[in-house]
């Protein structure tokens, strides 16, 4: 339990600097952003969202309220998108964001990140007749074991289609939900 509490308290730096803490203390409220409809992490926005991240952020907000001496800190849940969350945090419209986040260097210049609270990876589902080269690459092995020519580097991934959830951090907002990776 202590380790979990420590992990959650490390999330508090996401709340930010003294201006944010002052605003929370003055309002006796915290604005928590989340991305609706990402089961099991969040449910839809209306009427009362639930899910793993919602409960986690309520817990962190409660601990923050206790540390600031605010009994019954009002937690206002603010539906947003992963892309809009960074701007809302930077403008002070949200004090904390609990959702999918890519901690890039550019975003780290604008907002603070906690350590990850849920780590996942990208999985692949392939047909039984998938090429051996593709299977080797997906299993972390070398696609081609013979002489390496310019055209054989990552040949196992060439001209394959990968699907991802729209709006997820794996998803590139400039493409459709199915990505085609062509290695040249």
Q: Are strands 160-163 and 74-79 parallel, antiparallel or unpaired?
A: unpaired
Q: Residue 122 domain-assigned?
A: no
**pLDDT class of 27 with cuts at 50, 70, 90:** very high
Residue 115 resides in a domain: no
User: Is there a single domain that holds both residue 13 and residue 96?
Assistant: yes
The residues pairing with 76 across neighbouring beta strands, listed in sequence order, are 31
H/E element holding 34? strand 29-34
Residues 6+ apart with CB under 8 A from 100: 35, 38, 82, 168, 169
When mean pLDDT is compared across 11-15, 110-114, 126-130, the lowest value belongs to 11-15
For range 6-34, the mean pLDDT: 72
pLDDT at 132 over 90: no
Indicate yes or no: pTM above 0.75.
no
DSSP assignment of 113-153:
----SS---------TT--HHHHHHHTTS-S--S---GGGT
Could you report the per-residue pLDDT of 174-183, keeping only the tens digit for each?
A: 433 333 333 3
Give the residue numbers spanning the domain of 174.
132-181
If asked whether residues 19 and 90 sit together in one domain, one would say yes
Q: How far apart are CA 116 and CA 101, in angstroms?
A: 9
Specify the CATH number for the domain of residue 33: 3.40.190.10
**Gap between the Cα atoms of 43 and 59, Å rounded:** 17
State the total domains in the chain. Answer: 2
Top pLDDT among 184 and 169 is at 169
Given 58, 73, 108, which residue is the final one in a domain?
108
pLDDT band, very low/low/confident/very high, at 157 (cuts 50, 70, 90): low
Q: Give pLDDT, residue 112.
A: 84
């Amino acid at each position: 339990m202590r380790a979990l509490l420590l992990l959650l308290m490390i999330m508090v730096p996401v709340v930010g600097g003294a201006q944010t803490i002052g605003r929370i203390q003055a309002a006796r409220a915290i604005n928590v952003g989340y991305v609706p409809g990402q089961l099991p992490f969040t449910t839809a926005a209306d009427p009362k969202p639930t899910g793993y991240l919602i409960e986690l952020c309520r817990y962190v907000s409660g601990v923050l309220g206790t540390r600031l001496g605010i009994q019954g800190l009002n937690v206002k849940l603010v539906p947003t998108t992963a892309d809009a969350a960074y701007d809302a945090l930077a403008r002070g419209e949200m004090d904390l964001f609990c959702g999918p986040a890519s901690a890039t260097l550019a975003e780290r210049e604008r907002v603070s990140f906690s350590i990850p609270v849920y780590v996942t990876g990208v999985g692949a589902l392939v047909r039984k007749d998938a090429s051996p080269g593709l299977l080797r690459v997906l299993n972390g092995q070398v696609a081609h074991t013979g002489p390496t020519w310019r055209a054989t580097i990552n040949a196992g991934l060439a001209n394959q289609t990968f699907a991802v959830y729209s709006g997820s951090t794996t998803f590139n907002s400039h493409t459709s939900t199915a990505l085609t990776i062509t290695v040249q």
